[in-house]
């Protein structure tokens, strides 16, 4: 009798531990409600087995629940790693991957061969207007189309990074400024085919990194160059609008 009570106590404690430690993991990983039912239903059955005096059944179901939690933990690790490497919306590389993995590895490679990396910071000019007019869902779809165009045109050795809301960083190892500009021109022509619901364009700023350079400074140079390009486009657009207004008088 005492042994049976001890077993029941152990099983109940195990059930409580599994339920407590698995909740956040299961909620995050398994968004389908049927998995909630299966998982917590198994725990409930195990508890019922204890109350009905069937410890063997309870232990079996408890073992399945524990295996489920351990498997979920492994899935979580793989999912977190994937999310750290890829931007979920565009499939482009993430900032974390760029700074923590790709760039340190590329620095060592370029130092060995005395090479360089050309950077192009792209800004989607009309994305805010598109979001305001058509909503963020359409803006996300256009962003995905732009990411697809970038993937089609860059080399296998290049890297495209979702750097911000409407900013994409391109890295061209072993290239020069002319080569990088040609690739960006191809991307721009490809993106120019997007007309519905509103045409979009890119502003690009370029900079060059060589071994020993500070990456923060190099990226700021690209950012400033991109900003100058956007300013130039804005001034041209303003002049064009004034010319149209003047021509109506």
User: Dihedral of the CA atoms 179, 105, 89, 191 (nearest 10)?
Assistant: 0
Residue 242 — very low, low, confident or very high, per pLDDT cuts 50/70/90? very low
Half-sphere exposure of 116 (CA within 13 A, CB side): 13
For the cut 90, the answer to whether the pLDDT of residue 226 exceeds it is yes
3-state secondary structure of 199: coil
Q: Give domain 95-237's CATH superfamily.
A: Reverse transcriptase/Diguanylate cyclase domain (3.30.70.270)
Which comes out higher in pLDDT, residue 166 or 206? Answer: 206
Which comes out higher in pLDDT, residue 107 or 242? Answer: 107
Assess contact for 180 and 120: CB atoms under 8 A: yes
User: If you count them, how many residues does the chain have?
Assistant: 249
Assess contact for 204 and 172: CB atoms under 8 A: no
Which comes out higher in pLDDT, residue 205 or 193? Answer: 205
Which comes out higher in pLDDT, residue 140 or 226? Answer: 226
For the cut 60, the answer to whether the pLDDT of residue 100 exceeds it is yes
Assess contact for 59 and 10: CB atoms under 8 A: no
- For the chain, the average pLDDT equals 76
For 46-80, the pLDDT digits (tens) are 566 555 555 555 555 555 555 555 554 444 445 44
Select, from the ranges 84-88, 128-132, 188-192, 210-214, the one with the highest average predicted confidence (pLDDT).
Answer: 210-214
* Distance between CA atoms of residues 94 and 83, nearest Å: 8
Distance spanning both ends of the chain, measured CA to CA: 103
pLDDT of residue 173: 96
For the cut 90, the answer to whether the pLDDT of residue 99 exceeds it is yes
The ranges assigned to domains in the chain are 2-85, 95-237
Share of the chain above pLDDT 70, in %: 58
Assess contact for 223 and 203: CB atoms under 8 A: no
pTM score above 0.75? no
* DSSP string of 25-59, one letter each residue: HHHHH--SHHHHHHHHHHHHHHHHHHHTT-HHHHH
Assess contact for 171 and 119: CB atoms under 8 A: yes
For the cut 90, the answer to whether the pLDDT of residue 2 exceeds it is no
């Amino acid at each position: 009798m005492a042994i049976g009570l001890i077993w029941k106590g152990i099983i109940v404690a195990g059930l409580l531990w599994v339920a407590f430690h698995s909740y956040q993991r299961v909620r995050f990983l398994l968004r389908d409600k049927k998995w909630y039912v299966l998982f917590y239903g198994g725990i409930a059955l195990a508890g019922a087995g204890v109350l009905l005096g069937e410890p063997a059944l309870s232990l079996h179901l408890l073992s399945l629940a524990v295996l489920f939690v351990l498997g979920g933990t492994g899935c979580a690790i793989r999912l977190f790693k994937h999310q750290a490497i890829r931007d979920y919306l565009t499939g482009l590389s993430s900032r974390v991957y760029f700074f923590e993995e790709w760039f340190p590895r590329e620095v060592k490679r370029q130092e060995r061969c005395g090479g360089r990396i050309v950077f192009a910071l792209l800004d989607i000019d009309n994305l805010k207007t598109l979001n305001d007019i058509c909503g963020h869902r359409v803006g996300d779809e256009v962003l995905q189309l732009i990411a697809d165009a970038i993937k089609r045109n860059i080399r296998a050795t290049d890297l495209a990074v979702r750097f911000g809301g409407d900013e994409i960083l391109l890295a061209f190892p072993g290239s020069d400024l002319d080569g990088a500009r040609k690739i960006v021109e191809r991307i721009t022509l490809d993106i120019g085919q997007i007309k519905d619901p509103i045409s979009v364009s890119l502003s690009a700023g370029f900079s060059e990194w060589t071994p020993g350079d500070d990456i923060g400074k190099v990226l700021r140079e690209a950012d400033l160059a991109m900003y100058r390009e956007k300013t130039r486009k804005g001034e041209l657009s303003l002049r064009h609008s004034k010319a149209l207004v003047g021509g109506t008088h």
